[in-house]
């Protein structure tokens, strides 16, 4: 009878030793490409982690490479979502440089350009941008994201938080290539660089594009590289009909036919239906994540029935923490620029303000990078952090300068009288004594202007510039732009202005501001017809000394949603005024202060405050019509700029307004502009005038479309409702006073 307990004990021991000897199942996670749809991978990973499903290896293509790279770098799903839903990521994914990082002093002067074409000795094909989305906003952030992780793994992706493989397409060899090591930033950027949308990435002197062109679901890569016991394959490609966007059509043309198949014996293939989203629907990140998370919870029981390996969340958190402790602090002991001519490289290097004897960290490098690209003279600049033997890093830039010559085309098309076309020919060189010169022209129904600009910038730790500007403009203000037909012929004022200005000294005042001291001489003639149909001309010949302060972080010209703009101009003016046979000496001082502040409160709502103060000692003409025609005007939106409304004209005034913005979907906004204008006339504050406008604005990459309706108080001819349609960017040539 005693032998039965012995048999039971022996059986138990055998089972115990067998369990100890048998290794835990090794699990490989395969992530397909799919642009923004790949955000669903993050939600699915969250569901796996919450249910203690182990992940031992990751292989990804395109967006799958981004998610896989972040996961392999120790990012939790929550940290990944914070990154992808951040404003920073929105700037990177749209090719927009964060206004908060730009250096205003070197930023090109605002203009109504829509496109810019480089001119040079190279072929036309080389002058056309290589991608719809500029790489400049993405290069440094990706290096910053992955440089410490690359150093921590020693350039071997097996040594990351979990081993990683990414796939890119070698266009020259016409095949997919697997990245096992090297720069994580380059490997991930190459895997996601979809043709036309993003620039290719150069690896070992060969251009690499999106890995999805050859292998968008790297199951075989996972099998051959890691040989896992079981795989979980997450697939977000569209099956059948999808949204017929231009990007989706480019995707269908570029990608080779391929199967999204995983042998059932190798693992679990999970397809997620995201056909309602496009490749660039990153603003819908939360909704896409939720689809992935919900799908993960639906599948987790069937996954756990086949994936027996478990790893508790606390263990995953502990291992993440251990990996992050290995990440080195990035300090640079050398900075090098290649790619341009020796003079161009010297100029770019000077923007980094690097001195070998002083500490230089990632923040210093970031400031230098954005200082270098803010001038708009680089088509691309790749950035790498190369580990050195002393434990520091070498910051290596490869620059791709634009041609010195370029042509700008643009304008503003409107159903009212403000339509105009714009063109400019520009010369910009990269040098420690950089020269910027341009000839610009506006021509339209009621406005024509020409401008010559020339500036020389002196670099160094304390940069400054000298410049010359000449402007000639002719502007016709109409007394009526009513929505409905008017029987009477509207009166008008025509303003002709010509001036020359020398910017004696310009210098940066912090990152986002600059100060300018200038002198100038100008000629102004206002012509109009009075009630007796007499044609009257009021002419000024004036000299001017001016001090200007400009600050700008707005994220748009005509339709911003965040940032701050402050413009202060203090002018002393002396000259002569001619009216008919009479001639008078005129002298006055004026302060013109404009402030625009926008708060981006949520993904769907922003709010702006605007104000303009004009305070002047200028004495108006004794003739009322002349005084009105000569007076400055308050124009809160482009739609009312061309209207001659005496109620909104004064030599001193205060205008304030509120601008609520409802962001309906990605690029569509409903905007309001509700302003009050209070003039100072004849030594007293006069009754205020009011302006209100509602507009639907659709913001494209290079142009804005709007439909508006507004109501204005003021003169009888202008009082009432107005409506119209516009397309383009509204910016006029500078004015003298």
pLDDT in tens, 367-419: 999 999 999 999 999 999 999 988 899 999 999 999 999 999 999 999 988 89
- Rounded CA-CA distance 346/647 in Å is 55
The average confidence (pLDDT) of the chain is: 90
- Rounded CA-CA distance 133/213 in Å is 19
Q: Which fold has domain 405-728?
A: Porin (2.40.160)
Q: For 168-204, b where at least 16 C-beta lie within 10 A, e where not — what string?
A: bbbeeeeebbbbeeebbbbbbbbbbbbbbbbbbbebe
pLDDT score, position 19:
41
- pLDDT digit string, tens, across residues 272-298: 999 999 888 998 999 999 999 999 999
Largest CA distance in the chain: 137
Q: Does residue 448 contact residue 454 with C-beta atoms inside 8 Å?
A: no
Residue 145 — very low, low, confident or very high, per pLDDT cuts 50/70/90?
very high
- Residues in CB range of 24: below 8 A, 6 or more apart: 54, 308, 309
Going by C-alpha positions, the residue among 173, 210, 205 that lies closest to residue 188 is 210
- pLDDT digit string, tens, across residues 680-692: 998 889 999 999 9
pLDDT score, position 240:
57
- Rounded CA-CA distance 383/729 in Å is 33
- 3-class DSSP string for 42-60: HHHHHHHHHCCECCCEEEE
- Ranges of CATH 2.40.160.50 domains, the chain: 405-728
Q: Does residue 166 contact residue 192 with C-beta atoms inside 8 Å?
A: no
Question: Chain-centre distance of CA 478, in angstroms?
Answer: 36
Q: Mind giving me the DSSP string for 171-239?
A: TTTTEEEEE-BS-HHHHHHHHH--TTTS--EEETTEEEEEGGGT-SS-HHHHHHHH--SEEEEEE----
Q: What are residue 657's DSSP bridge partners?
A: 610, 675
Residue 643 — very low, low, confident or very high, per pLDDT cuts 50/70/90?
confident
Q: Does residue 565 contact residue 554 with C-beta atoms inside 8 Å?
A: yes
Q: Is the pLDDT of residue 155 over 80?
A: yes
Quick one: what percent of the chain has pLDDT higher than 70? 90
**CATH code, residues 24-99+160-211+225-325:** 3.40.1090.10
- Residues in CB range of 535: below 8 A, 6 or more apart: 527, 528, 529
Q: Is the pLDDT of residue 622 over 90?
A: no
Bridging pattern class, strands 164-170 and 206-210: antiparallel
pLDDT score, position 127:
47
Q: Does residue 152 contact residue 167 with C-beta atoms inside 8 Å?
A: no
Q: Which fold has domain 332-401?
A: Ubiquitin-like (UB roll) (3.10.20)
- Ranges of CATH 3.40.1090.10 domains, the chain: 24-99+160-211+225-325
pLDDT score, position 445:
86
Whole-prediction pTM: 0.88
Q: Where are the beta strands (DSSP E) in 82-189?
A: 113-119, 164-170, 175-179
Q: 241: buried, middle or exposed (CB in 10 Å: 19+, 13-18, 0-12)?
A: exposed
């Amino acid at each position: 009878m005693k032998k039965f307990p012995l048999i039971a004990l022996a059986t138990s021991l055998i089972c115990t030793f067998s369990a100890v000897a048998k290794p835990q199942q090794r699990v490989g996670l395969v992530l397909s490409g799919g642009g923004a749809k790949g955000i669903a991978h993050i939600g699915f990973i969250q569901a796996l982690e919450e249910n203690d499903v182990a992940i031992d290896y990751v292989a990804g293509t395109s967006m799958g490479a981004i998610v896989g790279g972040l996961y392999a770098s120790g990012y939790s799903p929550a940290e990944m979502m914070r990154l992808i839903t951040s404003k920073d990521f929105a700037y990177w994914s749209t090719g927009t440089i964060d206004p908060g990082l730009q250096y205003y002093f070197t930023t090109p002067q605002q203009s109504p350009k829509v496109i810019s074409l480089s001119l040079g000795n190279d072929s036309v094909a080389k002058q056309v941008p290589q991608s719809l989305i500029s790489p400049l906003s993405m290069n440094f952030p990706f290096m910053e994201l992955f440089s410490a992780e690359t150093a921590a793994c020693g350039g071997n992706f097996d040594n990351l938080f979990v081993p990683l493989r990414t796939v890119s397409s070698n266009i020259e060899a016409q095949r997919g290539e697997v990245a096992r090591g090297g720069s994580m930033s380059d490997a991930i950027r190459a895997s996601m660089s979809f043709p036309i949308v993003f620039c290719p990435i150069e690896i070992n002197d060969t251009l690499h594009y999106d890995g999805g062109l050859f292998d968008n679901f790297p199951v075989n890569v996972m099998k051959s590289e890691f040989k896992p016991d079981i795989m979980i394959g997450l697939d977000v490609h569209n099956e059948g009909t999808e949204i017929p966007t231009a990007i989706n059509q480019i995707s269908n043309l570029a990608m080779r036919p391929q199967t999204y198949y995983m042998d059932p014996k190798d693992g679990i293939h999970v397809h997620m239906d995201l056909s309602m989203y496009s490749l660039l629907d990153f603003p819908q990140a939360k909704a896409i994540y939720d689809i992935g998370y919900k799908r993960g919870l639906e599948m987790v029981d069937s996954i756990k029935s086949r994936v027996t390996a478990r790893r508790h969340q606390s263990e995953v958190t502990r291992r993440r923490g251990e990996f992050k402790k290995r990440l080195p602090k990035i300090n640079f002991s050398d900075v090098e620029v290649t790619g341009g001519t020796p003079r161009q490289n010297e100029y770019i290097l000077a923007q980094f303000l690097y001195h070998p004897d002083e500490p230089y960290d990632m923040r210093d490098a970031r400031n230098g990078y954005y200082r270098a690209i803010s001038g708009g003279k680089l088509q691309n600049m790749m950035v790498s952090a190369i580990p050195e033997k002393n434990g520091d890093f070498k910051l290596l830039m490869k620059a791709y300068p634009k041609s010195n010559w370029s042509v700008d085309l643009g304008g503003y098309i409107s159903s009212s009288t403000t339509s105009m076309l714009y063109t400019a020919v520009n010369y910009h060189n990269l040098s420690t004594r950089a020269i910027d010169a341009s000839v610009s022209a506006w021509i339209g129904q009621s406005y024509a202007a020409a401008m010559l600009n020339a500036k020389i910038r002196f670099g160094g730790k304390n940069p400054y510039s000298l410049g010359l500007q000449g402007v000639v403009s002719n502007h016709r203000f109409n007394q009526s732009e009513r929505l409905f037909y008017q029987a009477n012929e509207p009166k008008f004022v025509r303003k002709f202005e010509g001036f020359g200005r020398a910017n004696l000294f310009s210098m940066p005042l912090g990152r986002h501001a600059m100060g300018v001291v200038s002198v100038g001489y100008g000629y102004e003639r206002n012509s109009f017809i009075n009630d007796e149909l007499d044609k009257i001309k009021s002419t000024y010949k004036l000299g001017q000394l001016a001090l200007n302060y400009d600050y700008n972080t707005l994220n748009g010209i005509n339709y911003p949603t965040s940032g701050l703009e402050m413009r202060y101009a203090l002018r002393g003016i002396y000259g002569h005024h001619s009216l008919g046979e009479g001639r008078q000496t005129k002298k006055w001082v004026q302060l013109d202060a404009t402030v625009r502040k926008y708060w981006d409160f949520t993904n769907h709502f922003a709010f702006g405050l605007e104000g303009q103060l004009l305070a002047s000692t200028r004495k108006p003409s004794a003739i009322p019509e002349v005084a009105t025609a000569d007076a400055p005007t308050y124009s809160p939106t482009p739609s009312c700029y061309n209207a001659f409304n005496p109620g909104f004209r004064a030599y001193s005034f205060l205008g304030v307004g509120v601008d609520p913005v409802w962001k309906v979907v990605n690029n569509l906004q409903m905007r309001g502009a509700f302003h009050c204008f209070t003039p100072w006339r004849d030594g007293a504050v006069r009754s205020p005038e009011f302006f209100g406008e509602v507009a639907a604005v659709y913001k494209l990459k290079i142009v804005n479309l709007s439909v508006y309706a507004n109501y204005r108080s003021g003169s009888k001819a202008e009082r009432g409702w107005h409506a119209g349609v516009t397309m383009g960017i509204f910016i006029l040539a500078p004015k003298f006073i």
